[in-house]
């Protein structure tokens, strides 16, 4: 059985930790996580995502 494993960077998010000067809202920062959580079993694996885009390692 194939395992799908990826990583995501949410970005600099406006939260208590990120602060008011961060670049994006929490709703934007969570999009990559939602994308990865809903990938099909035959989707990409071993990749890095930022702002819904796959980036090179």
pLDDT tens, residue by residue, 36-53:
999 998 999 999 999 999
- Is 1 a member of any domain? no
- Domain contains 11: yes
- Is 34 among the domain residues? yes
Q: Which helix (H) or strand (E) holds 53?
A: strand 53-55
pLDDT for residue 1 is more than 80: no
Confirm whether 26 is domain-assigned: yes
Q: Report pLDDT for 3.
A: 84
**Higher-scoring residue by pLDDT: 31, 1:** 31
Q: Which structural domain, as residue segments, surrounds residue 32? A: 7-55
Arithmetic mean of pLDDT, 5-12: 95
Q: How much is the pTM?
A: 0.80
Number of domains in the chain: 1
Q: Are 8 and 54 in contact (CB under 8 A)?
A: no
């Amino acid at each position: 059985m194939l395992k799908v494993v990826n990583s995501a960077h949410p970005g600099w998010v406006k939260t208590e930790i990120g602060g008011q000067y961060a670049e994006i809202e929490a709703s934007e920062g969570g999009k990559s996580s939602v994308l990865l959580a809903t990938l099909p079993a035959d989707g990409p694996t071993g990749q890095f995502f930022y702002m819904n885009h796959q980036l090179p390692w």
